[in-house]
Structure 1
Amino acid sequence: MPGNLFWNAYWKLGGWKVRGNWPQHLTRAIIIVGPHTSGWDVVAGMATRAIVPIPHAHYLGKKELFEGPFGWFFRMTGGVPVDRFSKNNMVEQVVELFRERKDFVLALSPEGTRKKVDRLRTGFWHIAKLAGVPIVMAGMDFSKKELILSPPFMPGDRPEDDLPSIISFFAPIKGKNPELGMGGLSADIKSDS
Protein backbone atom coordinates (compact mmCIF):
# COMPACT_ATOMS: atom_id res chain seq x y z
CA MET A 1 0.00 0.00 0.00
CA PRO A 2 1.61 3.32 -1.06
CA GLY A 3 0.54 5.19 2.10
CA ASN A 4 2.28 2.66 4.31
CA LEU A 5 5.49 3.02 2.28
CA PHE A 6 5.40 6.77 2.92
CA TRP A 7 4.78 6.36 6.67
CA ASN A 8 7.49 3.68 6.94
CA ALA A 9 9.96 6.07 5.30
CA TYR A 10 8.87 8.94 7.58
CA TRP A 11 9.22 6.71 10.66
CA LYS A 12 12.63 5.29 9.76
CA LEU A 13 14.17 8.52 8.47
CA GLY A 14 12.91 10.31 11.59
CA GLY A 15 14.51 7.66 13.82
CA TRP A 16 11.25 6.86 15.69
CA LYS A 17 10.77 3.72 17.77
CA VAL A 18 7.94 2.21 19.80
CA ARG A 19 7.99 1.22 23.45
CA GLY A 20 5.06 -0.99 24.40
CA ASN A 21 2.57 -2.84 22.23
CA TRP A 22 -0.85 -2.22 20.80
CA PRO A 23 -3.11 -5.09 21.93
CA GLN A 24 -4.14 -6.50 18.53
CA HIS A 25 -7.38 -7.93 19.94
CA LEU A 26 -8.53 -4.42 20.89
CA THR A 27 -10.93 -3.07 18.27
CA ARG A 28 -12.74 -0.49 20.44
CA ALA A 29 -10.89 2.02 22.61
CA ILE A 30 -10.01 5.62 23.34
CA ILE A 31 -6.36 6.50 22.77
CA ILE A 32 -5.28 9.62 24.58
CA VAL A 33 -2.25 11.04 22.78
CA GLY A 34 0.02 13.62 24.31
CA PRO A 35 1.55 15.89 25.00
CA HIS A 36 -0.15 17.82 22.19
CA THR A 37 2.19 20.76 21.55
CA SER A 38 2.48 21.05 17.76
CA GLY A 39 0.83 20.34 14.43
CA TRP A 40 3.58 17.77 13.90
CA ASP A 41 1.81 15.57 16.47
CA VAL A 42 -0.83 14.82 13.84
CA VAL A 43 1.81 13.72 11.31
CA ALA A 44 3.56 11.50 13.85
CA GLY A 45 0.17 10.12 14.92
CA MET A 46 -0.76 9.16 11.36
CA ALA A 47 2.59 7.43 10.98
CA THR A 48 2.01 5.61 14.27
CA ARG A 49 -1.36 4.32 13.08
CA ALA A 50 0.30 2.75 10.04
CA ILE A 51 3.50 1.51 11.69
CA VAL A 52 2.25 -0.03 14.96
CA PRO A 53 -0.39 -0.75 13.35
CA ILE A 54 -3.56 0.42 15.07
CA PRO A 55 -6.54 -0.88 13.09
CA HIS A 56 -9.82 1.06 13.06
CA ALA A 57 -8.07 4.23 14.34
CA HIS A 58 -9.90 7.52 13.86
CA TYR A 59 -9.81 11.15 14.92
CA LEU A 60 -12.49 13.84 15.18
CA GLY A 61 -12.80 16.86 12.92
CA LYS A 62 -15.34 19.63 12.62
CA LYS A 63 -17.96 18.64 10.06
CA GLU A 64 -17.16 21.67 7.88
CA LEU A 65 -13.80 20.10 6.98
CA PHE A 66 -15.58 17.12 5.46
CA GLU A 67 -17.93 19.26 3.36
CA GLY A 68 -15.15 21.11 1.53
CA PRO A 69 -12.98 20.03 -1.39
CA PHE A 70 -10.60 18.13 0.90
CA GLY A 71 -13.29 16.13 2.69
CA TRP A 72 -12.07 12.98 0.93
CA PHE A 73 -8.61 13.47 2.49
CA PHE A 74 -9.95 13.72 6.04
CA ARG A 75 -12.10 10.61 5.55
CA MET A 76 -9.23 8.67 3.96
CA THR A 77 -6.95 9.47 6.90
CA GLY A 78 -9.48 8.28 9.50
CA GLY A 79 -11.31 11.51 10.22
CA VAL A 80 -14.86 11.43 11.57
CA PRO A 81 -17.01 14.58 11.35
CA VAL A 82 -18.67 16.03 14.45
CA ASP A 83 -21.06 18.93 14.73
CA ARG A 84 -19.78 21.55 17.17
CA PHE A 85 -23.18 23.24 17.15
CA SER A 86 -25.35 20.17 17.69
CA LYS A 87 -27.90 20.09 20.51
CA ASN A 88 -26.05 16.95 21.62
CA ASN A 89 -22.73 17.78 23.23
CA MET A 90 -19.47 16.31 21.96
CA VAL A 91 -19.38 13.48 24.51
CA GLU A 92 -22.88 12.35 23.50
CA GLN A 93 -22.01 12.52 19.80
CA VAL A 94 -18.91 10.39 20.24
CA VAL A 95 -20.61 7.84 22.51
CA GLU A 96 -23.21 7.47 19.74
CA LEU A 97 -20.38 6.75 17.26
CA PHE A 98 -19.24 3.90 19.52
CA ARG A 99 -22.82 2.57 19.64
CA GLU A 100 -23.07 2.63 15.84
CA ARG A 101 -19.71 1.01 15.06
CA LYS A 102 -18.42 -2.41 16.00
CA ASP A 103 -14.76 -1.56 15.37
CA PHE A 104 -13.88 1.97 16.44
CA VAL A 105 -10.68 3.28 18.03
CA LEU A 106 -10.61 7.03 18.63
CA ALA A 107 -7.49 9.14 19.25
CA LEU A 108 -8.01 12.29 21.34
CA SER A 109 -5.79 14.86 23.02
CA PRO A 110 -6.39 14.95 26.78
CA GLU A 111 -5.40 18.64 26.78
CA GLY A 112 -7.90 19.55 24.06
CA THR A 113 -5.48 22.14 22.62
CA ARG A 114 -1.84 22.66 21.59
CA LYS A 115 -1.50 25.47 24.13
CA LYS A 116 -0.11 25.07 27.63
CA VAL A 117 -2.84 23.90 30.03
CA ASP A 118 -2.98 23.77 33.81
CA ARG A 119 -5.28 20.73 33.92
CA LEU A 120 -6.57 18.02 31.62
CA ARG A 121 -10.04 18.02 30.14
CA THR A 122 -12.20 15.01 31.01
CA GLY A 123 -14.28 14.47 27.86
CA PHE A 124 -12.12 11.48 26.85
CA TRP A 125 -12.75 9.86 30.24
CA HIS A 126 -16.53 10.38 30.06
CA ILE A 127 -16.63 8.96 26.52
CA ALA A 128 -14.71 5.85 27.58
CA LYS A 129 -16.91 5.39 30.68
CA LEU A 130 -20.23 5.83 28.85
CA ALA A 131 -19.15 3.74 25.83
CA GLY A 132 -17.68 1.00 28.06
CA VAL A 133 -14.32 1.01 26.29
CA PRO A 134 -10.77 1.02 27.64
CA ILE A 135 -8.31 3.89 27.53
CA VAL A 136 -4.80 3.51 26.11
CA MET A 137 -2.23 6.25 26.72
CA ALA A 138 0.17 7.10 23.88
CA GLY A 139 3.04 9.42 24.70
CA MET A 140 4.90 11.02 21.80
CA ASP A 141 8.38 11.89 23.06
CA PHE A 142 10.03 14.03 20.38
CA SER A 143 13.26 14.33 22.40
CA LYS A 144 13.81 10.55 22.23
CA LYS A 145 11.83 9.97 19.00
CA GLU A 146 9.84 7.41 20.92
CA LEU A 147 6.17 6.47 21.04
CA ILE A 148 5.26 5.03 24.45
CA LEU A 149 2.10 2.90 24.69
CA SER A 150 0.49 2.05 28.01
CA PRO A 151 -1.50 -1.10 28.66
CA PRO A 152 -5.25 -0.53 28.26
CA PHE A 153 -7.29 0.24 31.37
CA MET A 154 -10.97 0.74 32.06
CA PRO A 155 -11.95 4.10 33.57
CA GLY A 156 -12.55 4.08 37.33
CA ASP A 157 -15.57 5.38 39.19
CA ARG A 158 -14.67 9.06 38.80
CA PRO A 159 -12.23 11.02 36.62
CA GLU A 160 -10.27 12.09 39.70
CA ASP A 161 -9.50 8.40 40.36
CA ASP A 162 -7.59 8.14 37.07
CA LEU A 163 -6.15 11.62 36.46
CA PRO A 164 -3.13 11.31 38.80
CA SER A 165 -1.81 8.20 37.00
CA ILE A 166 -2.56 9.74 33.59
CA ILE A 167 -0.65 12.89 34.52
CA SER A 168 2.23 10.78 35.92
CA PHE A 169 2.46 8.93 32.60
CA PHE A 170 2.54 12.07 30.44
CA ALA A 171 4.42 14.56 32.66
CA PRO A 172 7.99 13.39 31.81
CA ILE A 173 7.30 13.05 28.07
CA LYS A 174 8.72 15.86 25.93
CA GLY A 175 6.52 17.05 23.07
CA LYS A 176 7.76 18.87 19.98
CA ASN A 177 7.54 22.10 22.04
CA PRO A 178 8.49 20.80 25.51
CA GLU A 179 7.59 24.04 27.30
CA LEU A 180 3.94 23.35 26.41
CA GLY A 181 3.98 19.82 27.86
CA MET A 182 2.20 18.30 30.83
CA GLY A 183 4.92 18.67 33.46
CA GLY A 184 3.50 20.39 36.54
CA LEU A 185 -0.13 19.72 35.67
CA SER A 186 -2.81 19.87 38.30
CA ALA A 187 -5.10 16.88 38.86
CA ASP A 188 -8.01 19.31 39.36
CA ILE A 189 -11.02 18.52 37.20
CA LYS A 190 -11.92 20.69 34.22
CA SER A 191 -15.24 19.31 33.12
CA ASP A 192 -16.05 19.45 29.43
CA SER A 193 -18.75 16.84 29.19
Structure 2
Amino acid sequence: MTSKFFNRSKAAAQSTRSKILPRLSKKQLGNLVPRRGNKVAPVIAAALLKAAGWRTVGEIPNIPQAVVLALPHTSNVDGVYAIPGLFALDLKVSIMGKHTLFKVPVLAQLLNWIGVVPINRSNKGSVLQASIDRFKTGEPLFLGLSPEGTREYTKNWKTGFYYLAVGAGVPILPVALDYKTKEIRFMSLVYPTGNIEADLPKIYAQYQGVLPRHPERLSQPLKDVNNLAG
Protein backbone atom coordinates (compact mmCIF):
# COMPACT_ATOMS: atom_id res chain seq x y z
CA MET A 1 0.00 0.00 0.00
CA THR A 2 2.86 2.37 0.83
CA SER A 3 4.52 1.99 -2.56
CA LYS A 4 1.18 2.40 -4.37
CA PHE A 5 0.51 5.67 -2.59
CA PHE A 6 3.88 7.15 -3.41
CA ASN A 7 3.78 5.92 -7.00
CA ARG A 8 0.42 7.62 -7.53
CA SER A 9 1.65 10.90 -6.11
CA LYS A 10 5.06 10.91 -7.80
CA ALA A 11 4.10 12.57 -11.06
CA ALA A 12 1.99 15.22 -9.35
CA ALA A 13 4.70 16.05 -6.85
CA GLN A 14 7.41 16.38 -9.48
CA SER A 15 5.26 18.67 -11.63
CA THR A 16 4.00 20.98 -8.87
CA ARG A 17 6.01 20.87 -5.65
CA SER A 18 9.37 21.76 -7.24
CA LYS A 19 7.81 24.64 -9.17
CA ILE A 20 6.27 26.12 -6.04
CA LEU A 21 9.43 25.98 -3.95
CA PRO A 22 12.36 28.05 -5.24
CA ARG A 23 15.82 26.58 -5.63
CA LEU A 24 18.12 27.52 -2.76
CA SER A 25 21.70 28.74 -3.06
CA LYS A 26 24.17 30.08 -0.52
CA LYS A 27 23.70 33.59 -1.93
CA GLN A 28 20.16 33.58 -0.56
CA LEU A 29 21.17 33.03 3.05
CA GLY A 30 20.71 36.08 5.29
CA ASN A 31 23.38 37.63 7.46
CA LEU A 32 21.97 36.16 10.69
CA VAL A 33 21.98 32.52 9.57
CA PRO A 34 24.87 30.37 10.92
CA ARG A 35 27.47 29.85 8.19
CA ARG A 36 30.57 27.75 7.82
CA GLY A 37 32.50 30.51 6.10
CA ASN A 38 34.38 28.21 3.73
CA LYS A 39 34.75 29.33 0.11
CA VAL A 40 35.91 26.03 -1.40
CA ALA A 41 33.60 23.47 0.27
CA PRO A 42 30.34 24.93 -1.13
CA VAL A 43 31.65 24.74 -4.70
CA ILE A 44 32.69 21.11 -4.36
CA ALA A 45 29.53 20.12 -2.47
CA ALA A 46 27.26 21.84 -5.00
CA ALA A 47 28.96 19.95 -7.84
CA LEU A 48 28.54 16.62 -6.02
CA LEU A 49 24.89 17.33 -5.29
CA LYS A 50 24.20 18.27 -8.90
CA ALA A 51 25.97 15.15 -10.17
CA ALA A 52 23.70 13.05 -7.95
CA GLY A 53 20.63 14.77 -9.39
CA TRP A 54 19.65 16.41 -6.10
CA ARG A 55 19.01 20.04 -5.18
CA THR A 56 18.10 22.24 -2.24
CA VAL A 57 14.76 24.08 -2.35
CA GLY A 58 12.54 26.20 -0.15
CA GLU A 59 13.49 29.09 2.07
CA ILE A 60 15.78 29.51 5.06
CA PRO A 61 14.53 32.39 7.22
CA ASN A 62 17.09 34.98 8.26
CA ILE A 63 17.24 34.02 11.93
CA PRO A 64 20.26 33.11 14.09
CA GLN A 65 18.81 30.16 15.99
CA ALA A 66 16.49 27.21 15.35
CA VAL A 67 15.93 23.55 16.08
CA VAL A 68 16.25 21.86 12.68
CA LEU A 69 14.34 18.62 12.08
CA ALA A 70 15.81 16.22 9.53
CA LEU A 71 13.12 13.82 8.30
CA PRO A 72 12.37 11.18 7.26
CA HIS A 73 15.55 9.35 8.25
CA THR A 74 15.33 5.71 7.12
CA SER A 75 18.85 5.03 5.81
CA ASN A 76 22.52 5.86 6.31
CA VAL A 77 22.46 6.94 2.67
CA ASP A 78 20.45 10.00 3.70
CA GLY A 79 23.66 11.65 4.81
CA VAL A 80 25.20 11.18 1.37
CA TYR A 81 22.77 13.81 0.08
CA ALA A 82 22.04 15.84 3.20
CA ILE A 83 25.65 16.69 4.07
CA PRO A 84 26.62 17.99 0.60
CA GLY A 85 23.32 19.88 0.57
CA LEU A 86 24.23 21.75 3.74
CA PHE A 87 27.82 22.37 2.65
CA ALA A 88 26.64 23.63 -0.75
CA LEU A 89 24.62 26.29 1.06
CA ASP A 90 27.50 27.10 3.41
CA LEU A 91 24.89 26.47 6.11
CA LYS A 92 26.16 25.36 9.50
CA VAL A 93 23.78 22.92 11.15
CA SER A 94 25.25 21.56 14.37
CA ILE A 95 24.64 18.12 15.82
CA MET A 96 25.22 16.68 19.27
CA GLY A 97 28.29 14.62 20.15
CA LYS A 98 29.78 13.11 23.30
CA HIS A 99 31.75 15.71 25.25
CA THR A 100 34.57 13.23 25.85
CA LEU A 101 35.44 13.30 22.14
CA PHE A 102 36.54 16.91 22.53
CA LYS A 103 39.34 15.92 24.91
CA VAL A 104 41.44 14.88 21.90
CA PRO A 105 42.92 18.14 20.50
CA VAL A 106 43.01 17.30 16.77
CA LEU A 107 39.66 15.53 16.88
CA ALA A 108 38.16 18.46 18.78
CA GLN A 109 39.19 20.84 15.99
CA LEU A 110 37.62 18.57 13.37
CA LEU A 111 34.39 18.21 15.34
CA ASN A 112 34.15 21.96 15.82
CA TRP A 113 34.61 22.49 12.08
CA ILE A 114 31.91 19.95 11.26
CA GLY A 115 29.57 21.59 13.74
CA VAL A 116 29.37 19.01 16.53
CA VAL A 117 28.18 20.44 19.86
CA PRO A 118 29.69 18.73 22.94
CA ILE A 119 26.98 17.23 25.16
CA ASN A 120 27.29 15.19 28.36
CA ARG A 121 24.84 12.33 27.87
CA SER A 122 25.08 11.00 31.44
CA ASN A 123 21.37 11.62 31.95
CA LYS A 124 18.56 12.78 29.68
CA GLY A 125 17.64 15.78 31.79
CA SER A 126 21.15 17.19 31.64
CA VAL A 127 21.27 16.79 27.85
CA LEU A 128 18.09 18.82 27.43
CA GLN A 129 19.22 21.53 29.83
CA ALA A 130 22.72 21.67 28.35
CA SER A 131 21.19 22.14 24.90
CA ILE A 132 18.90 24.90 26.17
CA ASP A 133 21.86 26.58 27.86
CA ARG A 134 23.80 26.46 24.60
CA PHE A 135 21.04 28.38 22.86
CA LYS A 136 20.84 30.83 25.76
CA THR A 137 24.42 31.95 25.11
CA GLY A 138 23.02 33.80 22.12
CA GLU A 139 25.47 32.32 19.63
CA PRO A 140 24.16 31.62 16.11
CA LEU A 141 23.01 28.01 16.31
CA PHE A 142 20.97 25.74 14.07
CA LEU A 143 20.83 22.44 15.99
CA GLY A 144 19.88 19.44 13.86
CA LEU A 145 17.88 16.56 15.33
CA SER A 146 16.01 13.54 14.02
CA PRO A 147 12.96 12.99 16.26
CA GLU A 148 12.38 9.50 14.90
CA GLY A 149 15.46 8.41 16.85
CA THR A 150 16.02 5.41 14.58
CA ARG A 151 16.31 4.48 10.92
CA GLU A 152 13.72 1.74 11.43
CA TYR A 153 9.96 2.06 11.79
CA THR A 154 8.87 3.70 15.04
CA LYS A 155 5.40 4.29 16.43
CA ASN A 156 6.15 7.64 18.04
CA TRP A 157 8.62 10.48 17.68
CA LYS A 158 10.92 11.42 20.54
CA THR A 159 9.66 14.76 21.80
CA GLY A 160 12.87 16.17 23.27
CA PHE A 161 13.28 18.44 20.25
CA TYR A 162 9.98 20.13 21.06
CA TYR A 163 10.78 20.81 24.70
CA LEU A 164 14.22 22.02 23.67
CA ALA A 165 12.65 24.57 21.33
CA VAL A 166 10.18 25.66 24.03
CA GLY A 167 12.87 25.93 26.70
CA ALA A 168 15.27 27.82 24.45
CA GLY A 169 12.56 30.03 22.97
CA VAL A 170 13.51 29.21 19.38
CA PRO A 171 11.46 28.12 16.35
CA ILE A 172 11.47 24.69 14.72
CA LEU A 173 12.62 24.44 11.11
CA PRO A 174 11.39 21.23 9.40
CA VAL A 175 13.59 19.91 6.60
CA ALA A 176 12.59 17.02 4.34
CA LEU A 177 14.78 14.64 2.38
CA ASP A 178 12.52 13.63 -0.50
CA TYR A 179 13.71 10.76 -2.71
CA LYS A 180 10.70 11.24 -4.96
CA THR A 181 11.75 14.67 -6.20
CA LYS A 182 15.40 14.42 -5.13
CA GLU A 183 15.08 17.52 -3.02
CA ILE A 184 16.39 18.67 0.32
CA ARG A 185 13.42 20.81 1.23
CA PHE A 186 13.47 23.61 3.81
CA MET A 187 9.90 24.18 4.94
CA SER A 188 7.87 26.61 7.05
CA LEU A 189 8.93 27.53 10.56
CA VAL A 190 6.83 26.30 13.46
CA TYR A 191 6.86 28.44 16.60
CA PRO A 192 6.10 26.15 19.55
CA THR A 193 3.31 27.39 21.79
CA GLY A 194 3.91 24.93 24.62
CA ASN A 195 0.87 22.91 23.54
CA ILE A 196 2.56 19.89 21.99
CA GLU A 197 -0.72 18.22 21.01
CA ALA A 198 -1.63 21.25 18.91
CA ASP A 199 1.84 21.93 17.49
CA LEU A 200 2.99 18.47 16.38
CA PRO A 201 0.27 18.11 13.71
CA LYS A 202 1.54 21.36 12.15
CA ILE A 203 4.93 19.70 11.72
CA TYR A 204 3.55 16.35 10.54
CA ALA A 205 1.46 18.04 7.85
CA GLN A 206 4.50 19.52 6.15
CA TYR A 207 5.80 16.02 5.39
CA GLN A 208 2.74 14.95 3.45
CA GLY A 209 3.82 13.20 0.25
CA VAL A 210 7.52 13.10 1.15
CA LEU A 211 9.11 9.83 0.04
CA PRO A 212 11.92 8.33 2.17
CA ARG A 213 14.52 5.92 0.84
CA HIS A 214 12.74 3.05 2.61
CA PRO A 215 8.98 3.80 2.69
CA GLU A 216 8.28 0.74 4.83
CA ARG A 217 10.37 2.31 7.61
CA LEU A 218 8.40 5.55 7.65
CA SER A 219 7.47 6.55 11.21
CA GLN A 220 3.83 6.17 12.20
CA PRO A 221 3.09 9.92 12.50
CA LEU A 222 4.20 10.38 8.89
CA LYS A 223 2.28 7.30 7.76
CA ASP A 224 -0.81 8.74 9.41
CA VAL A 225 -0.45 12.11 7.67
CA ASN A 226 -0.19 10.24 4.37
CA ASN A 227 -3.13 7.94 5.20
CA LEU A 228 -0.96 4.83 5.12
CA ALA A 229 -1.45 1.63 7.07
CA GLY A 230 0.93 1.03 9.98
Structure 1 residue 60 and structure 2 residue 123: aligned? no
Q: One-letter code of the match for 2:68?
A: I
- Identical positions, percent: 28
Q: How many residues align?
A: 184
Is the partner of 2:41 in helix, strand or coil?
helix
Q: Mark the CA change 1:98 to 1:5 in structure 2 (over 3 Å): closer, same or farther.
A: same
Which string of whole-angstrom CA distances, capped at 9 and with x for unpartnered residues, describes residues 98-147 of structure 1? Answer: 01242111111121222211111111111111111111100001232111
The TM-score, its normalising length taken from structure 2, stands at: 0.72
Q: Tell me how far apart the structure 1 counterparts of residues 172 and 185 of structure 2 sit (CA, whole Å).
A: 14
SS at 2:206's partner residue?
A: helix
Q: Secondary structure at the match of 1:89?
A: helix
CA positional deviation for 1:155: 0.5
Q: Which amino acid aligns with 1:133?
A: V
**Is the alpha carbon distance of 1:167 and 1:153 closer, same or farther for their aligned partners in structure 2, counting shifts above 3 Å?**
closer
Match of 1:22 in 2: 60
TM-score, length-scaled by structure 1: 0.84
Tell me, yes or no, if structure 1 residue 51 matches structure 2 residue 88: yes
Preserved contact between residue 119 and residue 185 of structure 1 (Cα < 8 Å): no
Cα offset for 1:185?
A: 4.9
Q: 2 CA distance for matches of 1:29 and 1:112?
A: 19
The CA deviation string for residues 54-89 of structure 1, in whole angstroms up to 9 with x for no partner, is 3x4211112244345644332211111111115842
Which structure 2 residue ranges, 5 or more long, are not aligned? 1-38, 226-230
1:5 is aligned to 2:43: yes
Contact 2:179 2:213 in 1 (8 A): yes
Structure 1 stretch 170-179 or stretch 9-18: which is displaced more? Answer: 170-179
Tell me, in whole angstroms, the C-alpha distance in 2 between the residues paired with 1:87 and 1:133: 20
1:140-179 correspondence to structure 2 within 5 Å: 140-179=177-216
Mapped to 1, the partners of 2:118 and 2:82 lie a distance apart of 18
CA-based RMSD of the aligned residues comes to 2.2
What letter corresponds to residue 163 of structure 1 in structure 2? L
For 1:85 and 1:13, locate their aligned partners in 2 and report how far apart those are by CA, in whole Å.
42
What residue ranges of structure 1 are gaps of 5+ in the alignment?
Answer: 187-193
Alpha-carbon distance in 1 for matches of 2:224, 2:100: 33
Letter in 2 for 1:79: V
Single out whichever of 174-183 and 140-149 deviates more from structure 2. 174-183
- Higher radius of gyration, 1 or 2: 2
Separation in structure 1 between the aligned mates of residue 79 and residue 107 of structure 2, nearest angstrom: 17
Q: Distance in 1 between matches of 2:162 and 2:56?
A: 24
Give 1:121's aligned residue. 158
- Structure 1 counterpart of 2:133, from 78, 83, 96: 96
- The CA distance in 2 between the partners of 1:86 and 1:67, in whole Å, is 20
Contact 1:142/1:175 (<8 A) preserved: yes
Which region of structure 1 is more displaced relative to structure 2, 110-119 or 165-174? Answer: 165-174
Does the Cα contact within 8 Å between 2:95 and 2:115 map onto a contact in 1? yes
More helix by share: 2
